[in-house]
Structure 1
């Protein structure tokens, strides 16, 4: 069952409708992030990517400009599964995709964001390519993915977490997030700076309700899907969980143990059709080399 859950989560890393892509070509073309990086290890785990991605979205929806930019200009309410797969593919492309294709994809996203403007429900104007919002979105993604892997799959040293953040700088700059934190210290400083802007909203609860219902995992594993959502919330600072009214979403002790068990299985079982394996083959490496020696 643990392997089935990991494999199902792995499907979120592959392709989305209309966005099929073979990460094994063109042969020899490097990615934006080096293959020997911490990021390549972190992003191979589909369970912690799911957890970290949800945590990142919660943090984004807590900031009014990002919240309404996402909610007013996306198809999440009507087609959440496709949106999740497209977002997952974008993350895979940023880390594992050939540099030329990754740069083209990011440039397309930046162009699309130029059209995203509006007024928040609080009456403040926003635009998606605002530098403050771009930095926050990049920071929340890095926070979610790195912290989820560290908490549930395999502990990362402070130096490794620092390295993972620094590795993401090239991707962040392409998105226009030139002030995105490239170290643990800068991440902490940004969270402190943004704290006063993070507010509760019914949209956060609507998002979690959608994520609880979307068929991301097989029916038999659907209770575990809800547990993964609680694992996502539990990554957030305690004071922020309380402020956002998410106390009921905290993980229980036995649930934390189960989430860790599944994440650690996913950390050592190769998904040879997934982007991390195909990208490894593109660079002349064995498809399973990222999983070799992973601790459990």
Structure 2
């Protein structure tokens, strides 16, 4: 399992982003990527958006759904996936490279044939490009739509920053600009399919106790927001443009308010702050 590769490479989930002192990450601290990944609201929303897009591609769908623990241990899967994203962005370079190498090794062992008859290997470049593109799109657009609007130029910079980790993951053709992202999404649209797996995944995200019980209604809103972050044509193509996934105006305003607040509150225990400490930067460096 991919999760096993992550755990082996990092020891366990108590990863220390403060060590070794002074070691740079794959992406520099003054990047747009570091600013975006610090926000827990948009990261949760964007992660769900990305998985929806991944599951819409039949080969990725089978590779993810049959070789991970989404169905049996969704909370554990969320933690491990989130940790891998944090290490990729904030972890010291040597440890991030080791983790990615472990994931690449496990990807090579994941092959199969979809119910539509498509053969795949998890290290197929086209699939890696799609997975990297969906992750970048999800995190970027969730932040831009729900926290702070980003210009086309800032989005270009963000996609350019993704090049180093994407290359290490084997996604040599993942988008390096907003125009490339839009072109890839247009090219992939005919290959995307509505599927019951997406519905099952969204049900898991609605009902897995990610938040305390008192905040469970807020969790429901964030899952709906993740559907709304999808491009309009893709959402319609996947038959997710139903009333169930729509947000009322006050609900969207509430999510935006919480997203903006989360962008200003320095979370001392977060990987973002610990990574800043590793580099000798102030705790509030990313929160200016």
1:11 counterpart residue number: none
Aligned equivalents of 2:11, 2:220: Cα separation in 1: 25
Root mean square deviation, CA, Å:
1.1
Please tell me whether residue 117 in structure 1 is matched to residue 111 in structure 2.
yes
1:272 counterpart residue number: 268
1:238-262 per-residue CA deviation (whole Å, 9 max, x = no partner) reads 2221221212212221111011011
Please tell me whether residue 138 in structure 1 is matched to residue 132 in structure 2.
yes
Aligned equivalents of 1:179, 1:239: Cα separation in 2: 23
Please tell me whether residue 85 in structure 1 is matched to residue 85 in structure 2.
no
Conserved? CA contact 1:113–1:128, under 8 Å: yes
1:3 counterpart residue number: none
Match of 1:187 among 157, 178, 181: 181
> Which stretch shows the higher mean deviation, 236-245 or 196-205?
236-245
1:9 counterpart residue number: none
Aligned equivalents of 1:254, 1:127: Cα separation in 2: 44
Aligned equivalents of 1:30, 1:239: Cα separation in 2: 40
> Which stretch shows the higher mean deviation, 206-215 or 237-246?
237-246
Conserved? CA contact 1:24–1:282, under 8 Å: yes
1:34 counterpart residue number: 28
Match of 2:14 among 13, 20, 26: 20
Aligned equivalents of 1:23, 1:76: Cα separation in 2: 26
- Aligned positions of 1:150-189 closer than 5 A: 150-189=144-183
1:288 counterpart residue number: 284
1:245-280 per-residue CA deviation (whole Å, 9 max, x = no partner) reads 212212221111011011011000011111000000
1:110-134 per-residue CA deviation (whole Å, 9 max, x = no partner) reads 0010111011121211111000000
The aligned length equals 277
1:98 counterpart residue number: 92
Quick one: structure 1 residues 147 and 199, their matched pair in 2 at CA, closer, same or farther if it must change by over 3 Å?
A: same
Aligned equivalents of 1:136, 1:63: Cα separation in 2: 9
Deviation at 1:34, TM superposition (A): 0.3
Q: What are structure 2's unaligned runs of at least 5 residues?
A: 1-9
1:224 counterpart residue number: 218
Please tell me whether residue 73 in structure 1 is matched to residue 67 in structure 2.
yes
Q: What are structure 1's unaligned runs of at least 5 residues?
A: 1-15
Provide TM-score, normalisation by structure 2. Answer: 0.94
Aligned equivalents of 1:275, 1:124: Cα separation in 2: 39
1:62-96 per-residue CA deviation (whole Å, 9 max, x = no partner) reads 00000010001111101000100100011100110
2:252 counterpart residue number: 256
